Structure 1
Amino acid sequence: MARAATTKRILALGDSLTAGFGLAPEEAFPARLERALRAEGRDVTLINAGVSGDTTAGGKARLDWALAAKPDLAILELGANDGLRRLDPALTRANLDFILKRLEAAGIPVLLAGMLAPPNYGKTFEAEFKSVFTHLAASHDVVFYPFFLDGVAGEARLCLPDGLHPNARGVDLIVERILPSVRKLLERVKP
């Protein structure tokens, strides 16, 4: 069955937080966000392009594959694994900058979801890593959501036993908190 011409395709390009690590497919972030948007009467389809363990370099490497899905909009959620592996923030910035430029060149409005580094790597790394996302948000015309795991990180009742990945309740809270930013993103779609 062909999709209606009005259906907006939203690419969710990310890592395990997007893929839905440890969850049923219908509990993953893209599925839950699609459900929430459809409940508002929005004709959208979310494309789950999350790959567990992916870094920003991995997202950059598979960008052509992701764009083959012909999205109208994109949510970019990458960087958590860069932070966990303590990769050079300059590389993280360069990879995300490349992805953002490609999406912009394709005329695809973007919501950039920020990430924070683990606090055990020290204040200097933490500040450098956080600045990657704020810098990119300031230098690109994106909708910016500063911390993808806002309200979920560090909350045992909202995370899987590994303490890193959200459980189904955690995903629901992420969707609830990011929804106003996604609405702003949808306002940017061209008719």
Structure 2
Amino acid sequence: MSVDKTGIQGTRWTGSVPILIGAAILVACGAPSPDVPAERASQSQEPTAPVIPAPRPIIVFLGDSLTAGFGLAAEDALPEQVASILKTESIEVRVVNAGVSGDTTANGLARFDWSVTAADADLVVVALGANDYLMGIDPERVKQNLSEIIQKAKDNNIECILVDLQPRSTLEEGSRDAAFAAIYPDLAAKFDLKYYSSLMSGVENQPDLLQSDGLHPTAQGVRVMAENLAQFLVPIIETYE
């Protein structure tokens, strides 16, 4: 008795079927067809998009609520506004907002490694001390904390820019305010740092540029601060090009 060697829908199995199946598997796996030269097959693939590196330098702003953008939308915070202003001048940078509301210099020192070093920073803008001042922390302790922050930056080959916050009260020789105010220029000279003398310049004591608490800038106030700081940073950033 003869056997009809047919498969599904009457398709006849022949000796060439395993070869065809094997070829189909190769094509499905991306291998070139046997009758297409390998070089032609590789040329037919879609070109790989070039990898565009992130803008450099990477600038980390290590600060408190004045950096974080207390009471404002994320895009209105100081680091983001600085980047926006620089972009209008065709200067591309990547900013990292490492501002934490309420932070003291001790807090900034404690989180330096994961806030700054881990971000692969080229520059760190240190804007800390306002909360130390308001909390009555000893100026010598503040100076020591800032010294350690600066030294950490140097140890990690990160350029450090020191930002002075200027205490709000008048300065009397020998007073705590005078001691506090001397911290920033003294450290800038000791470590040979780029020194930005007043973060709140043009904003402090301007009610229309401050929120209702009288301490934190509005979005417009931040814009004023960012304009001034951006222009200070331009020649520093240009050294990285």
Query: Fold conserved (TM > 0.5)?
Result: yes
Corresponding residue of 2:138: 88
Cα offsets for 1:127-151 (capped at 9, x unmatched): 1001000101111122111111111
Output the CA distance in 1 between the equivalents of 2:99 and 2:197: 19
Q: Deviations over 1:82-140 (max 9, x none)?
A: 11112100011000010011111211112211012231796611110010001011111
- Cα distance change, pair 2–118 in 1 and its aligned pair in 2 (3 A): farther
Does residue 23 of structure 2 align to residue 23 of structure 1? no
1:57 match:
106
CA distance in structure 2 between the aligned counterparts of 1:29 and 1:2, rounded to whole angstroms: 29
Q: Does 1:36 align with 2:85?
A: yes
After TM superposition, the structure 1 stretch with the greater mean CA deviation from structure 2, 89-98 or 6-15, is 6-15
Letter in 2 for 1:85: M
Q: Tell me the equivalent position of 1:182.
A: 233
The alpha carbon displacement at 1:6 in A equals 4.8
Moved over 4 A (4+): 120-123
Pick aligned residue for 2:128 from 78, 82, 91: 78
Map 1:32-181 to 2 at 5 A: 32-66=81-115, 67-119=117-169, 124-181=175-232
Among all aligned residue pairs of Structure 1 and Structure 2, give the percentage whose two residues are the same amino acid.
38
How many residue pairs are counted as aligned between the two chains?
Answer: 190
Give ranges in structure 1 of 5+ residues lacking alignment.
none
CA distance in 2, matches of 1:166, 1:3: 36
- Distance in 2 (alpha carbons) for counterparts of 1:184 and 1:127: 31
TM-score (normalised: structure 2): 0.74
Q: Distance in 2 between matches of 1:2 and 1:121?
A: 54
Q: Distance in 2 between matches of 1:90 and 1:104?
A: 21
Question: Letter of the aligned partner of 1:16 in structure 2?
Answer: S
Change over 3 Å in CA distance of 1:188–1:101 after alignment to 2: farther
* Preserved CA contact (<8 Å) 1:34 1:45: yes
Q: Please provide the CA RMSD for this pair.
A: 1.9
* Structure with bigger RCO (C-alpha 8 Å, 6+ apart): 1
